[in-house]
């Protein structure tokens, strides 16, 4: 199974904050050096680079969840990175922020 979402959070929300409430990833899982991502073999969260969210005092986060055996943490990080970058380029930020 695969699921993904893009959600609005408060401006100062961290990847660990999002991971705390996300399914299949925990705050203590591997965090990227820049702090933008937290990932495990079963899920990942990543901050979407939305300029409009910064101006609105919000942040936008992408989450992914996978249940396929053999998936590695690096694969879920690559997946959430691509998903977050795609969301930023697609106009999803405006939609999530209700603009």
pLDDT at 53 over 80: no
pLDDT at 85: 94
Check: pTM over 0.75? Answer yes or no. Answer: yes
Strand order in 30-31's β-sheet?
2-10, 58-66, 43-48, 37-39, 30-31
The partner residues of 5 in beta bridges, in order of sequence, read 63
Q: What mean pLDDT do residues 23-41 have?
A: 93
Taking only the tens place, the pLDDT of each residue in 61-97 is 999 999 888 899 999 999 999 999 999 999 888 888 8
pLDDT at 92: 85
């Amino acid at each position: 199974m695969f699921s993904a979402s893009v959600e609005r959070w408060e401006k100062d929300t961290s990847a660990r904050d999002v991971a705390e409430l996300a399914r299949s990833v925990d705050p203590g899982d591997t965090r990227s050096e820049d702090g933008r991502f937290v990932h495990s073999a079963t899920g990942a969260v990543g901050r979407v680079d939305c300029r409009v969210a910064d101006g609105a005092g919000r942040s936008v986060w992408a989450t992914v969840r996978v249940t396929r055996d053999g998936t590695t943490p690096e694969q879920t990080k690559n997946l959430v990175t691509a998903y977050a970058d795609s969301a930023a380029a697609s106009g999803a930020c405006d939609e999530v922020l209700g603009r």
